[in-house]
Chains A and B, each alone.
Chain A
Amino acid sequence: MGTREALAVANRRMVRRLLLLTAAMFGFGFALVPLYDVLCEITGLNGKTNGRAVAAVEPMKIDESRTVTVEFVANLNVGAPWEFAPRVTRMQVHPGRFYQTHFLAKNLANQPMTGQAIPSVAPGLAASHFQKIECFCFNRQRFQVGEGKEMPVTFRIDPDLPPDVRTVTLSYTFFRIDDAGG
């Protein structure tokens, strides 16, 4: 009899521990989210580029000897009724110098719309070397019915960009975010 009770106690203790482990792993799944974000922010691995302007614009040595191709890509998220395209699809730039280009967007829906562009840079490791001081992606963009806009980006490439990178692609995806109240 005594051993049977001892067994019941042992089983209960085992269940408690294993449930605790289950809960911990459930939490770990969620903890992976900030861990992953921090990792990507530190390393710039996933091409997430700042949705904010660089804090301080210090002058950089302009490297005239090096030319990098910057390509521009525009994507629409599903259900975003816009026309959206870069004015030019590629530019030759020297690291350290500022350049400006434009993206064109037009509301095709028969109601006012608010959108937000999310930037991404490929290759991922170039993301931390791509600086924007002015970008339509910093703010939400509001469009009246049929309204079209020409939206500027001002950027430069950090001369520290790894030497094997010769082409950098800046891609924007335009999301519709009306529900957010714009």
Chain B
Amino acid sequence: MSTASHTTDHGHDHDHDHGPARGLSRWILTTNHKDIGTLYLLFSLAMFFVGGAMALVIRAELFEPGLQVVDPHFFNQMTTLHALVMIFGAVMPAFVGLANWLIPMMVGAPDMALPRMNNWSFWIMPFAFTLLLSTLFMPGGGPAGGWTLYPPLVLQTGSAFPFVILAVHMMGASSIMGAINIIATILNLRAPGMTLMKMPLFVWTWLITAFLLIAVMPVLAGTVTMLLTDKFFGTSFFNAAGGGDPVMFQHIFWFFGHPEVYIMILPAFGVISQIIPTFARKPLFGYASMVYATASIAFLSFIVWAHHMFTVGMPLAGELFFMYATMLIAVPTGVKVFNWVSTMWRGAMTFETPMLFAIAFVILFTIGGFSGLMLAIAPADFQYHDTYFVVAHFHYVLVPGAVFSIMAAAYYWLPKWTGHMYNEKLGKLHFWLSVIGVNVLFFPQHFLGLAGMPRRIPDYALQFTEFNMVSTVGAFLFGFSQLFFLYNVIQTIRGGAKATDQVWEGAEGLEWTLSSPPPYHTFTTAPEIK
């Protein structure tokens, strides 16, 4: 507590060279971790609505069998771009934004270790996404072969092809710079006394995620470079006519792709592990086991990639290896779920909006984990692969998983960031509409997949109509409920009841010792850790 007033005073003493610059140049030139965190979060929010609009185009087309709203080629561009925008534009930048805002405040550091690089890694993103979205207007349209960019299909992309690859390179460079910055901050800038095993779990999960990013984003960059040279420079990495093999692309892509899905969920685990103890008013159950579980998930994520390609014709030994390795991941994941539930057990729980989202996360993410286990059964996957069952699986882990955790985080820390309480009634309304919408949207997709409806096709057989209609209704309900979130965030930024420094009765950690909103520069002298 003493540190809070100390740093606040310090900030005031030096206001002449420490306050934010004015006008637009503040945001363009800023190297302040709080400004950059805000930029990332706002960018992510914008992309969430762009990607969401694409999803509604997809669901509108699938409301009825037959082709009514868009032509198939445009439908394919929507599925491809929806995924790329949501993964690289909405979920990943949201977590990087949270990292920027929170990690320095949680470890008692004055800023990120490499503030200037921080500025670059953000400002690459708007350019990358302008480029990516502009491909929609190029001859031949945007990429339409799916976000997984499988050759030879992806090589049929029109003029957009090299621009898509360049956009992917730019996003990759941004993520790698962000990851380097986060690792350097956590390893070099912790306040004295903040040992690794005292770090808040959000910091731990981000440290591990950052290493995953550095390990796999370069592999993605490499493999899309191979696509590029195959198309324009006559190489044959994936071209069978020249001795290459298209299946090899899948191996390299998923070597990136599976760790990538954990890049999108480990920081979510961190967020949930911060929120549940606050509202259960109990310390996190099994802190050390949470750290080890996160590390083992990260390690295992490198040896399960071929569960995305059980049907390419692997030998039996390969199928078995990847099946068992995949199932093994459920063990540390189960440890986490167990710890969250145990933290809530006999806690003095209250159910403010962040806690509601966190509890929904625990339940609905677990459903996604179970459908993942079903998919991990190699012989069964021959039936489910490339059907709506897979779509249901990954949306359960990503929407009420990763996206709900981001919303929980926004409600949880928004009072700290802005100094204002958000509108709790509106928050709860947003929660209930979202949680109903998301289930109406994705649960029927399990049934569609089990009955054999293929993914990424704009038309379907008549017997799938009812479930598709239900799913589309859920999609519009979920999509439009997000406007309540937008409105609530804007209102909270502009004003509202004054938030206290601690904000939540049960909140613990260095960030809650600072004023709400925190001064522009915090912890310029390191706090003391008890």
User: Which A positions have Cβ atoms within 8 angstroms of B?
Assistant: 7, 10-11, 14-15, 18-19, 21-23, 25-30, 32-33, 36-37, 40, 43, 45-48, 51, 77-78, 116, 118, 120, 122-125, 173, 175, 177, 179
Contacts and interface: CB of A to CB of B under 8 A. Distances in A.
B429 interface: no
B214 A47 contact: no
A36 B248 contact: yes
Interface in B140-168: 152, 156
B176 to A, nearest CB: 6
A26 B245 contact: no
B109 to A, nearest CB: 10
A22 B226 CA distance: 17
Interface string B220-234: 111100100000001
Contact of B241 (A7, A26, A118): A118
Given A22-B214, A46-B247, A124 B313 contact: yes
The secondary-structure label for the interface of chain A is helix
Given A26-B222, A30-B222, A15 B184 contact: yes
User: Which of A22, A36, A46, A125 has the largest count of B CB atoms less than 10 A from its CB?
Assistant: A22
Nearest to B312: A46
B314 A29 contact: no
A29 B237 CA distance: 12
Nearest to B173: A22
A78 B152 contact: yes
Given A10-B188, A15-B180, A29-B219, A21 B214 contact: yes
A62 B240 CA distance: 33
B184 A25 contact: no
13 contacts: A14-B180, A14-B184, A14-B188, A18-B180, A18-B183, A22-B217, A25-B217, A28-B222, A29-B222, A33-B252, A43-B315, A173-B241, A179-B234
B417 interface: no
A23 B214 CA distance: 9
A175 B179 CA distance: 43
A33 B218 contact: no
A123 B219 contact: no
B223 A29 contact: yes
Contacts of B180: 14-15, 18-19, 22
B313 A26 contact: no
B218 A14 contact: no
B266 interface: no
Interface string B196-235: 0000000000000000001111111111001000000010
Contact of A123 (B183, B218, B223, B313): B313
A179 B222 CA distance: 26
Given A25-B219, A125-B315, A177 B252 contact: no
User: Which of B152, B188, B217 has the largest count of A CB atoms less than 10 A from its CB?
Assistant: B188
B66 interface: no
B240 A175 contact: yes
Contacts of A25: 214-219
B183 A26 contact: no
Interface of B: 113-114, 152, 156, 176, 179-180, 183-184, 187-189, 214-223, 226, 234, 237, 240-241, 243, 245, 247-248, 251-252, 255, 313-315, 318
Contacts of B217: 22, 25
B221 A46 contact: no
Nearest to A176: B241
Nearest to A175: B241
B317 to A, nearest CB: 10
A118 B242 CA distance: 9
B103 to A, nearest CB: 15
Contact of A11 (B114, B215, B255): B114
Contact of A45 (B176, B220, B240, B315): B315
Contacts of A15: 114, 180, 184
A37 B234 CA distance: 19
Nearest to A32: B252
Contact of A47 (B219, B220, B255, B313): B313
A29 B252 contact: yes
B215 A14 contact: no
Contacts of A19: 180
Given A11-B114, A14-B183, A18-B184, A78 B218 contact: no
Given A18-B184, A118-B241, A124 B176 contact: no
A29 B217 CA distance: 10
B313 A46 contact: yes
User: Which of B187, B216, B222, B248 has the largest count of A CB atoms less than 10 A from its CB?
Assistant: B222
A150 B234 CA distance: 30
A63 B493 CA distance: 82
Contact of B251 (A11, A36, A177): A36
Contacts of B222: 26-30
B8 to A, nearest CB: 22
Contacts of A77: 152, 241
A26 B218 contact: yes
A16 to B, nearest CB: 10
Contact of A118 (B220, B240, B313): B240
Nearest to A36: B248
Given A11-B114, A15-B114, A77-B241, A122 B188 contact: no
User: Which of B180, B234, B243 has the largest count of A CB atoms less than 10 A from its CB?
Assistant: B180
Given A18-B180, A22-B176, 14 more contacts: A11-B113, A11-B184, A18-B183, A26-B222, A28-B218, A29-B252, A30-B222, A37-B248, A45-B318, A47-B313, A77-B152, A120-B240, A124-B315, A173-B241
Contacts of B248: 32-33, 36-37
A25 B223 CA distance: 11
User: Which of A25, A36, A122 has the largest count of B CB atoms less than 10 A from its CB?
Assistant: A25
Contacts of A36: 245, 248, 251
B240 A173 contact: yes
Contacts of B234: 179
A26 B221 contact: yes
B214 A18 contact: yes
Contacts of B255: 29, 32
Contacts of A26: 218-219, 221-222
A43 B217 CA distance: 29
A36 B217 CA distance: 20
